[in-house]
Amino acid sequence: MTQAGKFDTIDIGELPARLRPADVHAPVAASQAGPFEVTPDARPGSTVRDALMTGLLVIYPAFAALAAIIAGLFLTGASGT
């Protein structure tokens, strides 16, 4: 069982808390990869391929859900005919 102990704190005075301004970016290390890791290539940004893939990933499930609802209504005879 752990034993609760008394911890002594050292009062070194009041340190002001300062926030970094929003327009100043945090410093970035020159190399974030280790000595045996491959550094990633710089990506130029979004391409048409990225936009098409995102559209496919968003629109396809919506169409699949709509098709499943229509198929369910058709199979249950609730299509109105």
How wide is the angle at C-alpha 63 spanned by C-alphas 58 and 67, nearest 5°?
Answer: 155
Q: How far is CA 35 from the centre of its chain?
A: 27
- Buried/exposed 45-63: b ≥16 CB within 10 Å, e otherwise: eeeeeeeeeeeeeeeeeee
User: CA 68, CA 62: separation in Å to the nearest integer?
Assistant: 10
pLDDT (0 to 100) of residue 66:
95
Q: What range does the domain containing 58 cover?
A: 47-81
Per-residue pLDDT tens over the stretch 58-67: 999 999 999 9
Classify residue 73: in a domain, yes or no. Answer: yes
Classify residue 14: in a domain, yes or no. Answer: no
Q: How far is CA 57 from CA 43, 45, 47, 54, 71, in A?
A: 21, 19, 16, 5, 22
pLDDT (0 to 100) of residue 63:
93
Low-confidence stretches of the chain (pLDDT < 50) are: 1
pLDDT (0 to 100) of residue 10:
64
Classify residue 62: in a domain, yes or no. Answer: yes
Q: How many domains does the chain have?
A: 1
